[in-house]
Structure 1
Amino acid sequence: MELEPAEKARKLDIQELEEIRNDAYENARIYKDKTKLFHDKKIAQKHFSIGQKVLLSNSVLKLFPGKLRSRWQGPFIVTKVFTHDEFEIESEESRKRFMVNGQWLKSFNENFQAHAVEKIHLEPP
């Protein structure tokens, strides 16, 4: 007779523990969904067309930074556009083709003109 109340209390404890565990799983899923939405908002979608010239980020410079080195290589020509922001690019000099993620690319402006810098020679006083 004394075992029945203990059994009922134990079953209630197990059910309560399962509810707490299910709540924890649900909260974790909600947190992951919100984090993914926030992350996806920050990713900039890049749209390049076939034949467009692009610059490729030099990821080696992130490991060994150089003050005056350019972080961009190129120009490269986009030869194929795939789904999920993937592109096949071709080097203008070596004609090698390879696949890259669109996050490593930026558009190349061909009409950029560097201005001549005027040099001023100072005489000692």
Structure 2
Amino acid sequence: MWATKLLNLDIKTAQEKRVMDLHELDEIRLGAYDNSRIYKERTKVFHDKKIQHKDLRSGDKVLLFNSKLWLFPGKLKSRWSGPFEIKEIMPYGAVTLVGKDGTEFTVNGERVKKYMANESTEVGTSLYLTDTAPV
């Protein structure tokens, strides 16, 4: 108060300018909230588009992700092991798997993906290409 009197400023105009500055600051803050909300909505839509839903059923063959292989993975070593067969799907995403030797174990459903091998190539049949040039 004494600074405005010292500088011979009008207290009324200084008060009006201060109120206008506060209103402008509130408008900027509300604009920032709106921009943040719009950004979050767009990011969520983009993220939800990229999610691939797994359609797992009992009896399907799946591969299991080996998360402990990250330390020394080897250059061409696969992190997926299997195939395993799904015995049971439990609530909240847990899956019971059965190995080839009959052992059962339960894992998180996020660690499995569907095994997409052709049944005829899995048995051991091989395909040969023959040279059939048109005559």
Cα drift, residue 22 of structure 1: 1.1
Distance in 2 between residues matched to 1:33 and 1:59, nearest whole Å:
32
Q: Is the 8 A contact 1:56 1:76 kept in 2?
A: yes
Residue identity over aligned pairs, in percent, reads 40
CA shift in 2, pair 1:27/1:63, >3 Å = farther
Q: Is the 8 A contact 1:75 1:91 kept in 2?
A: no
Structure number with higher helix proportion: 2
Q: Which residue, 69, 72, 76 being the options, matches 2:77? A: 69
Distance in 2 between residues matched to 1:32 and 1:100, nearest whole Å:
28
**Relative contact order: is structure 1 or structure 2 higher (C-alpha 8 Å, sep ≥ 6)?**
1
Aligned length: 114
Q: Per-residue CA shift, 1:69-97, capped at 9, x if unaligned?
A: 222112233311546xx341324243121
So what's the TM-score if we normalise by structure 2? 0.67
Distance in 2 between residues matched to 1:57 and 1:72, nearest whole Å:
5
Q: Secondary structure at the match of 2:53?
A: coil
Distance in 2 between residues matched to 1:11 and 1:63, nearest whole Å:
61
Distance in 2 between residues matched to 1:10 and 1:98, nearest whole Å:
62
Unaligned runs of 5+ in 2: 1-8, 127-135
Cα-Cα RMSD: 2.8
